Amino acid sequence: MYSVKESDWKLFRKLLPAWQERFMERLISEYAKVISGKGLASDRFWKLQKRLQKDVRKVGVCAEMRRSDMDMNLQSLLHEGAITKDDLDGFSDELRQSLLGAY
């Protein structure tokens, strides 16, 4: 079990907002494709609404900022595609190994 280092916690808090902005920009681009797609306006509207309900729960959009949840949040961000392995540069080797052991 990984014990959160202060340096990792500080770096996570610093980087998370930028990661979330980048992820939400990508989501908005995807939403624009739904909105501008073909078909009935009502179908596109409800497709977008369903997608928004799903996406709003993602860590890449809204994360609990607790030190004890940091590794779980990082795993979720990786799984959601909000961050890549390269985004973990700067974190401790111990944390990177803990997270990337599954990848």
Q: Which of 83, 81, 103 is nearest to 11 (CA)?
A: 83
As a whole number of angstroms, the distance between CA 10 and CA 13 comes to 5
Residues contacting residue 36 through CB under 8 Å, at least 6 positions apart? none
User: pLDDT tens-digit profile of 23-73?
Assistant: 999 999 999 999 999 999 999 999 999 999 999 999 999 998 999 999 999
Residue 3's pLDDT is what? 83
pTM: 0.88
